[in-house]
Structure 1
Amino acid sequence: MADAEGKPGPHRSGFASFVGRPNAGKSTLTNALVGTKVAITSSKPQTTRTVIRGIVHRPDAQLVLVDTPGLHRPRTLLGERLNDLVTTTWAEVDVVAVCFPANERIGPGDRFLVAELAKVRRTTRVAVVTKTDLATPAQIGEQLLAIQALGVETGTEWAEIVPVSALSGDQVGLLADLFVGMLPEGPPLYPDGDLTDSPEEILVAELVREAALEGVRDELPHSIAVVVEEMGLREGRSEDRPLLDIHAFLYVERQSQKGIVIGHKGSRLRAVGTAARQQIEALLGTPVYLDLHVKVAKDWQRDPRQLRKLGF
């Protein structure tokens, strides 16, 4: 960003966090701003289970986007821990952007979230109307007014209210500019070229889980966890023909779910493996051999010991 005389302004760096109820478009927007896939997306609510940081590099700034799980009224110990992750993140970032889908009315979940956010001090708040490609101009206008009213109702001062579409790219660049203007002056926080600070094993596990979520029946999404047990380049291969060996376990809560994930004669698990392998190869730029196995960890979402073992 240049000043009135055309001189480059100070470099800015900092953190902006997307929050919202489950399935509000946070991960899709994170990926759109970073310009590549760093957070998994799914039509299933509560897909995001970890805090993913996506890094936007610009000549004038480095913007670190923190994608958090959707805040919800928890029904399990896992749900409680995911909510704790969200509220801890709010207190540590420069900007919190609350996502409201343009095609869905504001409901009790949104009120609960904004009321919780009102308790956090010193953080700039932005409202983002997401998925504008799915709404009419009249619906978008109504949503803008409803968000303004919600701010008044909860004592929340919105620094900006911005409608965007991550899918079409509409106003995504404007949103990045607004975030950058709200960051403190400072040097880059991450090396040039880094797009996320998540370990590769975590990203790989997330891509396997994303593939496993597609097409499963509604009762299954929250019951699937993925752990990468081993990952490394196969020995004895020449540098121009590398092969990355990945061995991962998909954990479910009941024996009946194991059958759903594996499918008839292993057909479903093979489809999951193929879809995940393609995404992992695109992310890491290396041919991959992916070995998947399904295990039962009984009621893991409610068991503190199992949750620790699975990384929560």
Structure 2
Amino acid sequence: MNEEPTIETEPVVSADYRCGFVALAGRPNVGKSTLLNALVGFRLSAVSPRPQTTRHRILGIATRPAGQILYVDTPGLHRGAKRAMNRSINRTARSAMSDVDVGVQVIEANRWTDEDSAVHAVLSEQSAPRILVINKVDLAKDKAAMLPFVADLTSKHAFDEVHYVSALKRKGLEELERSLIARLPQAPPVYGEDEITDRSERFLASEMVREQLMRRLDQELPYATTVEIEQFVDREDGVAEIHAVIWVERDGQKAIVIGHGGAQLKAIGSAARKAMESIFERKVFLKLWVKVREGWADDENALKRFGYE
């Protein structure tokens, strides 16, 4: 008797498996991107000590036995957005906070500002549960003041739960993750277990270059720069060849980015290349140019070209 052919099926997840979107929201420089990278276990989002390092919505995917968490890293919501780019970033942040299953507001230990209140107001417009994550608890000088600070804060601003974490030292993340999964709807996973983001390598390459600009350039200059990937090809020898343009607004800024004898640009390129090789898991040949486009941060067409809309 002939045996029936074996039919391969997708692995069955449990009936109580959970999957959903979690927005990581907060004012600039509270550590949202560091938190995303720690929760996903992969360096997805650009990190620097400067506020407003994140300019785009970035999805980080964490697949666990009990559920799949789709983290949405949002740009920092800030006031006084005078330039078109800043207004675009605020729109991106507000949009990313809508239609999620859980809203997470990240703040610094023992600090609450008017910008934090503005973030809470946006999250409060949604019906999703709100979780307060107090980050950088390891840096808090007065830990005894933290409990009364949180008690006063939660008496004035409604949250469903509070978590204390250090994203940099990976403290408190397991408890936070379990809480998030428990609040997600029952649903099968959206992405494969090996996927970590919906962003392309091309996008991640531009972020790695921009991260170095934020880290290495002084004062306000990093905010006058953006990065465009002109070419991203995998050569036959297995090397990813990437050509990127660093756009600035004035000739004087171009000279600063290049540096004396090209030293600054070389350092930016070397650090970005090493970051790319770590993420992409292959050798990278990176070529950088610096070009001027006056007023690009107030030019709607330029912003769309550079991926801000």
Provide the residue aligned with 1:227 in structure 2: 228
One-letter code of the match for 1:258?
K
Say which of 13, 17, 30 aligns to 2:19. 13
The unaligned stretches of length 5 or more in structure 1 are 1-7, 152-156
One-letter code of the match for 1:175?
L
> 1 CA distance for matches of 2:35 and 2:56?
16
Say which of 118, 122, 131 aligns to 2:127. 122
Moved over 6 A (4+): none
The unaligned stretches of length 5 or more in structure 2 are 1-13
Provide the residue aligned with 1:161 in structure 2: 162
Say which of 252, 262, 269 aligns to 1:266. 262
Say which of 251, 254, 263 aligns to 2:250. 254
Deviates more, 1:13-22 or 1:251-260: 251-260
Q: Does the 8 Å CA contact 1:229/1:248 hold for their aligned counterparts?
A: yes
Provide the residue aligned with 1:80 in structure 2: 87
SS in 2 for 1:24: coil
Alignment of 1:1-312 (within 5 A): 10-73=16-79, 74-103=81-110, 105-118=111-124, 120-135=125-140, 136-151=142-157, 157-235=158-236, 237=237, 242-312=238-308
CA distance 1:181–1:81, change in 2 (3 Å): same
Q: Does the 8 Å CA contact 1:101/1:130 hold for their aligned counterparts?
A: yes
- TM-aligned CA deviation for residue 291 of structure 1: 0.1
Deviates more, 1:160-169 or 1:138-147: 138-147
- TM-aligned CA deviation for residue 78 of structure 1: 0.9
Deviates more, 1:261-270 or 1:216-225: 216-225
- TM-aligned CA deviation for residue 115 of structure 1: 2.1
- Equivalent residues, number: 293
> 2 CA distance for matches of 1:125 and 1:160?
7
Q: Does the 8 Å CA contact 2:15/2:186 hold for their aligned counterparts?
A: no
One-letter code of the match for 2:133?
V
Q: Does the 8 Å CA contact 1:127/1:147 hold for their aligned counterparts?
A: no
- TM (norm. structure 2) is 0.92
- TM-aligned CA deviation for residue 122 of structure 1: 1.6
Provide the residue aligned with 2:3 in structure 1: none
SS in 2 for 1:190: coil
> 1 CA distance for matches of 2:122 and 2:192?
34
> 2 CA distance for matches of 1:142 and 1:208?
42
Q: Does the 8 Å CA contact 1:106/1:146 hold for their aligned counterparts?
A: no
CA distance 1:220–1:146, change in 2 (3 Å): farther
For residues 248-296 of structure 1, the C-alpha deviation after alignment (integer angstroms, 9 at most, x for no partner) is: 0001111111111111110000000100000000000110100000011
Q: What do you get for the CA RMSD once the two structures are aligned?
A: 1.3
Identity %: 38
- TM-aligned CA deviation for residue 191 of structure 1: 1.2
> 1 CA distance for matches of 2:152 and 2:271?
40
- TM-aligned CA deviation for residue 106 of structure 1: 1.0
> 1 CA distance for matches of 2:307 and 2:98?
23
For residues 149-181 of structure 1, the C-alpha deviation after alignment (integer angstroms, 9 at most, x for no partner) is: 331xxxxx3110111101121111100001001
> 2 CA distance for matches of 1:257 and 1:177?
47
SS in 2 for 1:214: helix
Q: Does the 8 Å CA contact 2:202/2:232 hold for their aligned counterparts?
A: yes
SS in 1 for 2:216: coil
Q: Does the 8 Å CA contact 1:102/1:139 hold for their aligned counterparts?
A: no
> 1 CA distance for matches of 2:149 and 2:16?
35
- TM (norm. structure 1) is 0.91
